[in-house]
Amino acid sequence: MKRLSLYRFLTWFVTAFVVVLTSSLTTPGLAYAADASAPERIISGSGVSGISTQVRQLAEVQLSELSEREKRDRLRQLLPWSPAELQASFTRLLESFTDEEIVRSLEIIDDSLMARGRLMEDVALQEQGTPEYERYMQRLATYPPAVSRVQRLERLVSATRMAEWLIRAQASVSGVLELELTQGYEADTRDSVLDFMLYAYRRVSNAEIDALIRLWSDPVMQRWLTEAFAALPGPARPELAEPDLI
pLDDT, tens only, 168-193: 888 888 888 887 888 888 999 899 99
Would you tell me how many other CB atoms lie within 10 Å of the CB of residue 209? 19
pLDDT, tens only, 30-59: 444 447 789 988 998 888 877 787 777 778
Predicted confidence band of residue 19 (pLDDT cuts 50, 70, 90): very low
Q: How far apart are the C-alpha atoms of 85 and 49, rounded to whole Å? A: 11
Q: What is the residue-averaged pLDDT of the chain? A: 82
Task: Determine what percent of the chain is predicted with pLDDT higher than 90.
Answer: 46
Q: How far apart are the C-alpha atoms of 210 and 229, rounded to whole Å? A: 23
pLDDT, tens only, 89-136: 999 999 999 999 999 999 999 999 998 988 898 899 889 889 999 999
